[in-house]
A and B are shown apart, each in its own frame.
Chain A
């Protein structure tokens, strides 16, 4: 099947484009130049260029570890593991029914205490 070539744009379109292109542009008024220059000065970075704020070292470490959520989970899991390793839960008489790791925090579930964040609730209850 042969394709019918599309006709070129009419000559008058070329003429129209050229006619409009030849229209003499008006000169910008002085107040436009003044406004643009005022914007330029207002937005100009300080000499030497804008210094991008640098994160303190500890913030870079947090970012490397995957952000606050990850760090929170890491810290809580570490504390929990440390406590279990020391036999801390048994020694304080806590009989856990379940352990949950939710949203970066470790929760323990116990028939007497209900659901609570590990450490803080237990210490208050046991105090």
Chain B
């Protein structure tokens, strides 16, 4: 069970969602504080645009409020459900942007303001290229790769969250990364790597 800011035992997300479904305003506040930053960070990492990431985070949370009365505890983790919703919303937006490379002058503000301008631009170019390539992966491959590399989840943890075997996770991750390597093979040098 997670700990809250005071170190007290905090209710898990599903329990809070059940309380929200019964009209508990304090559960709404707790879920907002706990989940919105995560949804926003995930969207920001994929979209690279603060305004769009905020819209996605708000939409994902809106869907969470909507499903709350019908949520079945034990069928899925709230965070996994939300992660998937955010990933799909981001994918939709990335596909609408089109597959063309983003012109330099349209790249949003660098994420890491402490880095040099060149390094920040490089970081943003890597993020944008990876996001576009991730958007083209099948959903389960995308989820496995993102959970592994962005969330630092282990293969057994990913298996539990996606409801599949560890072997399936290994296969999905390997295939996903091979597809990424293929999709980005023409940009290796431009992204500052040696293929």
Q: Does B145 contact A (CB under 8 A)?
A: yes
Contact between B61 and A40 (Cβ–Cβ < 8 Å)? yes
Contact between A32 and B20 (Cβ–Cβ < 8 Å)? no
Tell me the complex Cα distance, A35–B65, Å. Answer: 13
Tell me the complex Cα distance, A50–B54, Å. Answer: 29
- Interface hub of A14, A21, A28, A43 (most chain B Cβ within 10 A): A28
CB distance from A94 to the nearest CB of B (A): 56
Tell me the complex Cα distance, A80–B147, Å. Answer: 68
Cβ contacts under 8 Å, B123 to chain A: 19-20, 23
B-side interface mostly: helix
- Interface hub of A10, A29, A41 (most chain B Cβ within 10 A): A10
Cβ contacts under 8 Å, B178 to chain A: 6-9
Cβ contacts under 8 Å, A8 to chain B: 174, 177-178
Interface size on A, residues (CB 8 A): 38
Tell me the complex Cα distance, A44–B149, Å. Answer: 35
Q: Does A45 contact B (CB under 8 A)?
A: yes
Contact between A23 and B20 (Cβ–Cβ < 8 Å)? no
With A8-B174, A36-B32 known as contacts, the answer to whether A48 contacts B22 (CB < 8 A) is yes
Of B45, B58, B188, B191, the residue contacting A39 (CB under 8 A) is B58
Contact between B37 and A49 (Cβ–Cβ < 8 Å)? no
List B61-105 residues whose CB lies under 8 Å from chain A. 61-62, 65-66, 68-69
Pick 14 A–B contacts, CB within 8 A, sort by A.
Answer: A16-B191, A17-B150, A19-B123, A25-B44, A25-B111, A26-B44, A26-B50, A26-B53, A33-B32, A44-B20, A46-B23, A49-B21, A49-B22, A49-B69
List the interface of chain A (C-beta within 8 A of B).
6-10, 12-21, 23-29, 32-33, 35-37, 39-41, 43-50
